[in-house]
Chain A
Amino acid sequence: ETGVTQTPRHLVMGMTNKKSLKCEQHLGHNAMYWYKQSAKKPLELMFVYNFKEQTENNSVPSRFSPECPNSSHLFLHLHTLQPEDSALYLCASSQGVGSGGFNIQYFGAGTRLSVL
């Protein structure tokens, strides 16, 4: 266990559904991240939060809406997704962001999302 827990592990949803992915870290970290891993593509950074504030949005479509109520929890709210959004969504956390040894990221096991 890495100390980063993601739920659910698997999710199937229709294009008109609304669902949420949850990530919780028990490491006392201040930064949290969402990544997307599609088949045959490298991991793509989606969002970065540091001390609950969003510091990066990597041009992610608005149908993905992140929420970070505190430094331990991160959500990804999904609505009106497309089939091409089917992927493994990974959450990560780190003690901080930027330079130094603080940017070592610890990853959760991911949520496998299928959009029908």
Chain B
Amino acid sequence: KQEVTQIPAALSVPEGENLVLNCSFTDSAIYNLQWFRQDPGKGLTSLLLIQSSQREQTSGRLNASLDKSSGRSTLYIAASQPGDSATYLCAVSEETSGSRLTFGEGTQLTVNP
């Protein structure tokens, strides 16, 4: 059974810092990996999707990497801003069923002005 772990569970940083969120998964037979953002009381917004054949994806200040063989992904946020404060979730989809997403518990990020 696939298990996804995110470290740290919570992170508080001053504005302007570059930071890294970590995600690991136990079964490397994934189809893709997604990073989501969840604001309090709101649903999930997809930030980046990395196909299993890719190594990284970038969107603005966000960069996500994937090492499928070691079961790891990182989300790098450059020059963090207070508006980045949210919970960041990592999810993997399985090769046999792309619709089944297995989520981590998330990292709660607070960026202080």
Where the two chains meet, the residues of A that have a C-beta atom closer than 8 Å to any C-beta of B are: 2, 4, 6, 31, 33, 40-43, 45, 48, 50, 55-56, 90, 92, 94, 97-100, 102-110, 112
CA distance A92 to B99 in the complex (A): 11
With contacts A42-B103, A42-B104, A42-B105 known, is A103 near B98, CB below 8 A? Answer: yes
Is B46 close to A, CB under 8 A?
yes
Contact indicator B103/A43 (Cβ below 8 Å): yes
Chain A residues within an 8 Å CB radius of B43: 2, 4, 6, 90, 107-110
Neighbour of B105 across the interface among A40, A48, A104, CB < 8 A: A40
Is B19 close to A, CB under 8 A?
no
CA distance A104 to B32 in the complex (A): 10
Q: Which residue of B lies closest to A41 (CB)?
A: B105
Where chain B touches its partner, the secondary structure class is strand
Is B93 close to A, CB under 8 A?
yes
Contact indicator A109/B41 (Cβ below 8 Å): yes
A45: min CB distance to chain B, Å: 6
Is B78 close to A, CB under 8 A?
no
With contacts A2-B43, A90-B43 known, is A97 near B99, CB below 8 A? Answer: yes
Chain A residues within an 8 Å CB radius of B102: 42
Chain B residues within an 8 Å CB radius of A4: 43
B94: min CB distance to chain A, Å: 10
Contact indicator B46/A104 (Cβ below 8 Å): yes
Chain A residues within an 8 Å CB radius of B75: none
Further 8 A-B residue pairs, CB within 8 A, beyond A42-B4, A90-B43, A104-B49: A2-B45, A6-B43, A56-B100, A98-B97, A99-B31, A103-B98, A110-B41, A110-B43
Contact indicator A33/B99 (Cβ below 8 Å): yes
Is B42 close to A, CB under 8 A?
yes
Q: Which residue of A lies closest to B93 (CB)?
A: A103
Offer 29 A-B interface pairs, CB within 8 angstroms, sorted by A.
Answer: A31-B99, A33-B99, A42-B103, A43-B91, A43-B103, A45-B100, A45-B101, A48-B100, A56-B97, A56-B100, A90-B44, A94-B99, A97-B97, A97-B98, A97-B99, A98-B97, A103-B31, A103-B32, A103-B93, A103-B98, A104-B49, A105-B46, A105-B101, A107-B36, A107-B45, A109-B41, A109-B42, A110-B43, A112-B41
